[in-house]
Amino acid sequence: MRNILITGASRGIGAACAREFASHGDRVFLNYNNSKSAAEKIAAETGAIPVKADVSNFEEVNRMRKIIGGCGRLDILVNNAGISQTKMFTDITESDWDNMFNVNVKGMYLVTRAFVDDMIAAKSGKIINVSSMWGVTGGSCEVHYSAAKAAVIGFTKALAKELGPSGINVNCVAPGVIDTDMNAHLSSDDLEALKNETPFMRIGKSEDVAKTVFFLASRNADFITGQIVNVDGGMVI
Ligand code: NAP
């Protein structure tokens, strides 16, 4: 049985990843921050183990490492926890900027740092980071989000080179528009326009991303590392 940690798994894409891995018999550690009852509901459904930690907080991440470490070594880490915000560049405050990078970038660094030593010692492990198509192309009115998600891509490529000799795969998915709470603010007209820009003419589902993450975590992806896999219905080609 593989041990998997999925950050930000109380809702959306992370919750779909938890369901996907658990349905294949993996032991899933389901990280959440604020959504305790949602996390407990998914845990009850799937048998996953909920673990509270704000990924941007060093002490909370280390507490999570100790809890999970008591159950053995982590085989797979999915750095999914993230926040977004839509604002004109000139309206982004310093605290908006810091918050964006603290969760999306520092969180990924802290969680990876907390678990990577054991993977290096075992010369085995798979790390999958969740970026965004905006990290690839840049998105208007989302400069801080786009910059943070581009940092996820740079982190993925650099770490893949460093950890390849240790037998660890580091890859990244870059979702397009996915139907989660993150896009709940979009109007039906906005969603229709986004659908029309997508070759598959639909908004993505969390499960579309979860199945790709599951593939990247599988033995079928053993020779794939440092890659950015767009899961966006063909929006970015
Ligand atoms: P979502 O529905 O808003 O869920 C976000 C998840 O991240 C929640 O489980 C939340 O946990 C968790 N989270 C936020 N801040 C956290 C923190 N400080 N510590 C731990 N967990 C934290 O978003 P989503 O759409 O599933 O997004 C998941 C990932 O996909 C993000 O990295 C996002 O940037 C990326 N993405 C999404 C889309 C899209 O269209 N939806 C597109 C491209 C990329 P709590 O609720 O428990 O706090």
- What is the block-wise mean pLDDT of the chain (237 residues), using blocks of 10 residues? 97 98 98 98 97 98 96 95 98 98 98 97 98 98 98 99 98 98 95 96 98 98 98 95
Supply the pTM of this predicted model: 0.98
Fold of 3-228: Rossmann fold (3.40.50)
Give just the sign of the alpha carbon dihedral 221, 213, 102, 62: negative
CA dihedral of residues 95, 99, 105, 106 (deg, nearest 10): 90
By CB atoms closer than 10 A (0-12, 13-18, 19+), residue 15 is buried
Among 176, 173, 149, which Cα is nearest to 235's? 176
pLDDT at residue 71, rounded to an integer: 84
CB atoms within 10 A of CB 76: 25
Q: Which residues line ligand 1 (CB under 6 A)?
A: 7-14, 31-35, 54-56, 80-84, 103, 107, 130, 132, 175, 177-178, 180-183
Alpha-carbon span 108 to 106, nearest angstrom: 5
End-to-end CA distance of the chain: 37
pLDDT at residue 70, rounded to an integer: 87
